[in-house]
Amino acid sequence: MKTKIHPVAGYLLIEPQKQENVTASGIVLPGNDKEKPQQGKVLAVGGAVYRDGQEIAAPCQVDDTVIYKEWGVSEFKENDQKFFLAKFEDIIAIIK
């Protein structure tokens, strides 16, 4: 997806993905719609940041699916679509 939003250094633009609870036999369990998604696709990556003279690069790339801290993201909407901005350190896993 193309977007006009370009994150600043140290941030990632993420499109949240709805997570479904599925049993081992494939039954989809209804979830709590009030919960924030914690998984999404990276749409854009800001530049590296520097701390104490050390370069800290993004932990992932565009099109990676990541898991991020539940309350570590800033949520906003553009054209009725929800997006998140997350700091590099708020990414806790990359799904391969």
Note the pLDDT tens digit of each residue in 9-67: 999 999 998 766 666 676 766 665 556 668 999 999 999 999 999 999 999 999 999 99
What pLDDT does 35 receive? 60
Q: Quick one: residue 53, left, alpha or beta (phi over 0 = left, psi -120 to 50 = alpha)?
A: left
Return the domain boundaries, the chain.
11-20+31-95
Domain 11-20+31-95, CATH among 2.40.10.340, 2.30.33.40, 3.40.50.920, 1.10.132.20? 2.30.33.40
User: Which pLDDT score, from 0 to 100, does residue 36 have?
Assistant: 63
- 87 or 37, higher pLDDT: 87
**Full-model pTM:** 0.79
**What mean pLDDT do residues 76-88 have?**
91
Do 16 and 39 form a contact (C-beta atoms < 8 A)? yes
